[in-house]
Amino acid sequence: MRRINVGNAGLQAPVVVTGCMRINQLSKAEAERFIQSALEMGACFFDHADIYGAGKCEEFFAEAIDMNATIRETMLLQSKCGIRPGIGFDCSKAHILASVEASLKRLKTEYLDVLLLHRPDALIEPEEVAEAFGTLHQSGKVRYFGVSNQNPLQIALLQKYLAQPLIINQLQLSITQASMISQGLHVNMAGDAAVDRDGSVLDFCRLKDITIQTWSPLQYGTFAGVFLGNPQFAELNRIIDALSQQYGVTNTTIALAWILRHPAKMQPITGTTKVARLKDCVKATEITLTREEWYKVYQAAGNVLP
């Protein structure tokens, strides 16, 4: 699979990120096959979080692959912290350091390639985050840093205090959940599509060389379901199916190719635990939709042009 520069700090990674939020739903043999297949496809950038399966997903991942130093060097591992079920959000120095230590233990590794703050914390103290990131970076326990679900001013506030650049922002984006794109098309318009809900985060990330990783790329709503094959999106599926036939690929491939066509060079995060579906996702890196096709898909999802 082709690789891209993630941010501007020297990290090169596969275009498609393999999400591991549901990996503990597999048997150990199935998980091993899935991870090995991902490595063979070049989809070796694995996304975790401390809350996925209450930590069980990280632990299960390492057990399934029989993690060791040799295997570790064949992959990139990313995890997230900051969500505390039953409490809220916690980006304090103490919680960041404790969370990373726990993730390293569960993943049976000495370092994370990337650590992201999972959600904005209303009580965040940037100076504490800077201390935590500095400790983790200097000790070699985390190589690169980023955020998830943050707007431009939240990122700028953090970056003011950090010695390390924030190279990633995870944001929800799919054909049916594309407000960060639509608001940029409806500047100075009166309709709902013009509402800026995220501070022009797409343009900000491009301006600051922050790579956007898109989560739920096949979902509508937040976690309402998949739009592919869904009669609620009949026209969208008609257009996608026609393109699938034209390119000789699946509808999953076309849906991810739509995201990859955007010049921001975003990284879709897969949510599948099926090898065949992951192959379809990886195949999207070989498809380049035309401008006409991209806009046709965009409008078929109910998005309007000004």
What is the rounded CA–CA span in Å between residue 165 and residue 174?
Answer: 27
Residue with token string 């950090």: 162
Q: Which helix (H) or strand (E) holds 79?
A: strand 76-81
What is the rounded CA–CA span in Å between residue 50 and residue 73?
Answer: 21
Task: From residue 273, give the alpha-carbon distance in Å to each of 57, 95, 283.
Answer: 12, 30, 16
Strand partners, 219: 226
Tokens matching residue 13: 């990674």
What is the rounded CA–CA span in Å between residue 242 and residue 244?
Answer: 5
Residue 247 designated active-site: no
Beta-carbon count within 10 A of 148 CB: 21
Query: Which of 52, 144, 220, 298 is an active site residue?
Result: 52
Strand partners, 147: 117, 169
Query: Which sign, positive or negative, has the C-alpha torsion 33, 224, 76, 250?
Result: positive
What is the rounded CA–CA span in Å between residue 185 and residue 100?
Answer: 39
φ and ψ of 242, to 5 deg: -65, -40
CA–centroid distance for 226 within its chain: 17
Answer for the pair 132, 142: CB distance below 8 angstroms, yes or no: no
Residue with token string 């996702």: 281
Give, as one character, the DSSP assignment of residue 289.
-
Q: Active-site residues: which are they?
A: 52
